[in-house]
C-alpha cells in the first residue's frame, strides 16, 4: 500500500511550548488508526498539527506524497483532510442544511447521503445548530466533515459526553464510513475498547513520544498488553 499520511520526527506545540517530541508513523490509504494515550500525552496536539493549527518546530508532514508541513490549514482541507474537532465547531446560527452546504466540495458525499446516514439530521434540517442536542451536533460535525469529501478523516473524541444510544449510532456510522467506504481515518477516543474494533492500527503516545505503534487487534485481545501501553487497570483509555 501507498502511505497516504507520513509523519516524520514531528516536533510541535503551542508557541514555545513543545508537546510532541519527535513523532513518526505512517497511515496507508484506506486504513484507519486509533490514537490513544493518557491525558497530556499529545494526541490532540498531533491531530491539530496535522490540520495546521499548532506551532511547528521541526519534522515533516506528507499527505498523498505532498509536503504539507508549512501549508496553511485551508489548503490542507482542500488537499483532502477532514477534521471533526473536540469542540465540534459547527455554525450555531446556521441551519443544519446550511452547515452541511457552507463548505461542501464536489464528490460522492452529498446532503442527501449524509441525511441517509443520520436521519435525525434530516428531521432537523431547518433547525439552527444551537437548537440541536449534543449528539445531533456531533452528527452534524461529522456530516459537515464528510461534505468536504476528504481522503483522510480526523476525529477528536467523537463519543465524548454522549448518551449510549447516540454512541451506538455514531459507532455504526463510523463503521460504515471506515469499513464500507474504505475511508482513511485517525480517531482519538476515551472509550478505547469501543474504537479499537473499528481501526486497523493503533498509535499510543506517552509524553509526546510514540510508545506503541502496531495493529489494533493485539491491544484489544490481550489485557496485559492493553494495560502495559495504556497503564489503566480498568481497561479504559484516557485522552488529551
Segment 108-120, tens digit of pLDDT: 999 999 999 999 9
The answer, yes or no, to whether residue 33 has pLDDT greater than 50, is yes
For every residue of 103-131, DSSP letters joined together read T--SSS--HHHHHHH-HHHHHTTTSBGGG
Report whether pLDDT(239) > 90. Answer: no
Q: How many CA atoms lie within 13 A of 45 on its CB side?
A: 28
**33 φ, ψ to 5°?**
-140, 130
Predicted local confidence at residue 200, as pLDDT: 96
- At the fourth CATH level, the homologous superfamily of domain 3-80+151-231 is P-loop containing nucleotide triphosphate hydrolases (3.40.50.300)
Give me the phi and psi of 148, to 5 degrees please. Answer: -75, -10
Q: Is the overall model pTM greater than 0.75, yes or no? A: yes
Contacts (Cβ under 8 Å, ≥6 apart) of 82 = 145, 146, 148, 150, 152, 153, 154
For residue 166, the surrounding DSSP H or E stretch is helix 164-175
Confidence of residue 235 (pLDDT cuts 50, 70, 90): very low
User: Taking a C-beta distance cutoff of 8 angstroms, is the pair 145, 84 a contact?
Assistant: yes
**Sign of the dihedral defined by the CA atoms of residues 208, 186, 167, 214, in that order:** negative
Which of 17-26, 115-124, 228-237 has the lowest average pLDDT? 228-237
Residue 151 predicted with pLDDT over 50: yes
**Would you say residue 160 has pLDDT above 90?**
yes
**What pLDDT does residue 225 have?**
85
* Residue range(s) occupied by CATH 3.40.50.300 in the chain: 3-80+151-231
User: Degrees (nearest 5) of the Cα angle 180, 32, 137?
Assistant: 75
Q: Which band of pLDDT confidence, cut at 50, 70 and 90, is reported for residue 231?
A: low
Amino acid at each position: 500500500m501507498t502511505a497516504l499520511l507520513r509523519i516524520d520526527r514531528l516536533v510541535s506545540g503551542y508557541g514555545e511550548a513543545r508537546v510532541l517530541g519527535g513523532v513518526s508513523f505512517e497511515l496507508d490509504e484506506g486504513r484507519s488508526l486509533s490514537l490513544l494515550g493518557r491525558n497530556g500525552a499529545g494526541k490532540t496536539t498531533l491531530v491539530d498539527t496535522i490540520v495546521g493549527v499548532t506551532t511547528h518546530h521541526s519534522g515533516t508532514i506528507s499527505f498523498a506524497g505532498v509536503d504539507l508541513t508549512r501549508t496553511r490549514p485551508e489548503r490542507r482541507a482542500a488537499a483532502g483532510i477532514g477534521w471533526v474537532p473536540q469542540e465540534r465547531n459547527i455554525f450555531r446560527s446556521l441551519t443544519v442544511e446550511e452547515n452541511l452546504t457552507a463548505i461542501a466540495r464536489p464528490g460522492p458525499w452529498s446532503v442527501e447521503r449524509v441525511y441517509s446516514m443520520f436521519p435525525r439530521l434530516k428531521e432537523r434540517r431547518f433547525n439552527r445548530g444551537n437548537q440541536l442536542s449534543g449528539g445531533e451536533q456531533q452528527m452534524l460535525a461529522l456530516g459537515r466533515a464528510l461534505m468536504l469529501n476528504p481522503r483522510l478523516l480526523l476525529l477528536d473524541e467523537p463519543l465524548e459526553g454522549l448518551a449510549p444510544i447516540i454512541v451506538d449510532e455514531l459507532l455504526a456510522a463510523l463503521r460504515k464510513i471506515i469499513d464500507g467506504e474504505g475511508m482513511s481515518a485517525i480517531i482519538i477516543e476515551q472509550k478505547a475498547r469501543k474504537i479499537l474494533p473499528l481501526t486497523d492500527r493503533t498509535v499510543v503516545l506517552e509524553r509526546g513520544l510514540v510508545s506503541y505503534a502496531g495493529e489494533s487487534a493485539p491491544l484489544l485481545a490481550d489485557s496485559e498488553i492493553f494495560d502495559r501501553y495504556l497503564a489503566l487497570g480498568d481497561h479504559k483509555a484516557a485522552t488529551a
